[in-house]
Amino acid sequence: VAENRAGDILSDVGGAVQGSRGLAPAGCFNAEKDFAYFEPVHGTAPDIIGQGIANPMAAIMAAKMMLDYKGHPEAADAIERAVRATIASGTVTSDLGGSSSTAQVGEAVRDALQRDAAN
C-alpha cells in the first residue's frame, strides 16, 4: 500500500520481478469513498496498439483483483487458475518468450475458464 506515485513505481518494479510488466495488475483504492479501480501496470501501451502483441494477462488479472475487491473470491480464483494454466501451457506473448498473439492468449484463458467451470 502506497500513495499513487510510489505505488506506480512499486507496481512497475513488481512487474519486472515477475518477468514482464505484462503480467502485473494494479489497484487504486480510495478508502474514504469506498472506491477502487483496477488496471494493468503497463497502462494502455499506445506504442503497440493494433499489433496483436500486447500481453492481456495484466488486464485479466486486474479483473481478478476487482472480483476479489467486490467479494467474489471464487470467480477471482477461477481467473487466476485459468491464467496460470495458460502460462503453463506455453500460450504466451513474446514478452514472456512465446509467439502467441493477444487474441490467442485471451482465447486460451477463456478456454481454461470454461474447462475449470466444467469440472
For the cut 80, the answer to whether the pLDDT of residue 100 exceeds it is yes
pLDDT value of residue 81 = 98
pLDDT value of residue 43 = 76
pLDDT value of residue 16 = 54
CA dist., res. 51 & res. 102, Å (int): 9
What is the 3 state secondary structure string of 11-65? HHHHHHHHCCHHHCEEEEEECCCCEEEEEECCCCCHHHCCCCCCCCHHHHHHHHH
Q: What pLDDT, in 10s, does the model give residues 11-52?
A: 555 555 555 556 788 888 887 888 899 998 877 788 999 999
> What does pTM read for this prediction?
0.80
Q: What pLDDT, in 10s, does the model give residues 63-80?
A: 999 999 999 999 999 999
